[in-house]
Structure 1
């Protein structure tokens, strides 16, 4: 089942709202609840994101690190991207938009990276996203965000919302591979129930639950670029909502 939704979040500043082509995003219920959107940003800003992605790949190639089990991409953390258009994904405005459309009360903590899958990347292992993360004290205040600080994290959170945004994949066609597979059961031997194509300027968003199994489908014939990020909730809240045993399994 699908339905067109218009995000209902508190008023955002003009500079932020002007970046969007529209906010009529699609809410789907299967194989687990998720939001899918196409042509998210206006053409000019989307091109700035693509140019910034190309710049950081060229200028900071030595800073991209392998991410195992996720189709083996290389990634550069959002904490290193605070000086260009890609920094949008680490703003409170973006955080609050995503929290608002998913109905999640998030902490203001953001983790994520820009990723690159080389041609012929393998499929990733299905994952539901319920992983722990450590952030420094204190909890971000209104209007603030906090990103991971290596070695300084003592405040434990659990991923609450996953965001996967596609960019730098021009002229993708069916058969080119590199989709995102969604399934409600990790052990489903028939493969993903639904595949999300890596179309430029498109995005899938979902709350991390015991059923939100997803993976990189692999087999991409060309380079694939994306931004992958998470919003968080306190561990005690995740334990209350999901069960302490299940949440602790992902520590």
Structure 2
């Protein structure tokens, strides 16, 4: 049975906290430790985000690209949404909130995008997100964030010889669901969480997190945070997927270098 405890979400500064509908989120221990929250933002700000996303999807379709060759979603990078209300997810305040809830010392690097799954998208593959990422330039200062850009390949670090880049490892993952009005059980598109994955075994029992509007799930990335898109969605399904990062040395010290999953 899932063990639940109450988490008091802390933010800085207070003006940022005013965007939240409430300050109490739920920490769950099964099938792996994660935080779940409903009605995250006040209705006015949530509506502004959904309107901004719909406008960008309608007016700038060229921003959407396949997230990965073997993944059924299109994605718009958070860096392309910094002139919208979705820029909240690339603010230093949000970075620090995510890192603080995850209990990690984060680098200031933020990676993420808005994922869109068309109806009938297939089931994904279980993965734990313990992956490396490369970011351009020097480490950001205490009030800054650094996003990926076209000068450095985020997965592999490929770049011109004169381009400075740093390698880090995903430390805390967050999925925020929006633009899925009227979702009901049976509509599909949940996020599946697993307590373990063993090679050669059938998939174990899972927990399904529904893509309810204005809700989120957040967890420290570990070797056992197995999850995937559950597919079978009968309608368009949208979510913000983002990570904050820790240094590679920190990841190796915590998990061991052989646990990092390279692309």
TM-score, scaled to structure 1: 0.95
Question: C-alpha offsets along residues 84-127 of structure 1, whole Å, 9 cap, x if unaligned?
Answer: 10111100011011111121111100000011100000011111
1:105 aligns with 2:118: no
Q: Equivalent residue for 2:183?
A: 172
* CA positional deviation for 1:189: 2.2
SS at match of 1:139: coil
> Bigger CA drift: 109-118 or 182-191?
182-191
SS at match of 1:115: strand
Q: Retained in 1: the 8 A contact 2:195–2:204?
A: no
SS at match of 2:45: helix
Question: C-alpha separation between the residues in 1 aligned to 2:180 and 2:141?
Answer: 36
* CA positional deviation for 1:80: 0.8
Question: C-alpha offsets along residues 177-221 of structure 1, whole Å, 9 cap, x if unaligned?
Answer: 000000121246245521100000000000110000000000000
Q: Equivalent residue for 1:232?
A: 245
Q: Equivalent residue for 2:209?
A: 196
Q: In the alignment, which of 203, 210, 213 is matched to residue 223 of structure 2?
A: 210
Q: Equivalent residue for 2:255?
A: 242
Question: C-alpha separation between the residues in 2 aligned to 1:236 and 1:221?
Answer: 43
Q: In the alignment, which of 7, 28, 38 is matched to residue 5 of structure 1?
A: 7
* CA positional deviation for 1:67: 2.0
Q: CA RMSD in A?
A: 1.5
Q: Retained in 2: the 8 A contact 1:69–1:125?
A: no
1:157 aligns with 2:157: no
Question: C-alpha separation between the residues in 2 aligned to 1:36 and 1:107?
Answer: 24
Residues 51, 192 of structure 1: CA spacing in aligned structure 2 closer, same or farther, 3 A cutoff?
farther
Q: Equivalent residue for 2:126?
A: 126
1:115 aligns with 2:115: yes
SS at match of 2:169: strand
Q: Retained in 2: the 8 A contact 1:71–1:218?
A: no
Q: In the alignment, which of 168, 173, 196 is matched to residue 185 of structure 1?
A: 196
SS at match of 1:35: strand
1:94 aligns with 2:94: yes
Q: Retained in 2: the 8 A contact 1:134–1:148?
A: yes
Question: C-alpha offsets along residues 203-241 of structure 1, whole Å, 9 cap, x if unaligned?
Answer: 000011000000000000000011000000011110110
Question: C-alpha separation between the residues in 2 aligned to 1:200 and 1:191?
Answer: 27
SS at match of 2:216: strand
Q: Retained in 2: the 8 A contact 1:70–1:125?
A: no
Residues 39, 190 of structure 1: CA spacing in aligned structure 2 closer, same or farther, 3 A cutoff?
same
The runs of 5 or more residues in structure 2 that have no matched partner are 158-164
* CA positional deviation for 1:60: 1.6
Question: C-alpha separation between the residues in 1 aligned to 2:70 and 2:97?
Answer: 26
Count of residue correspondences: 248
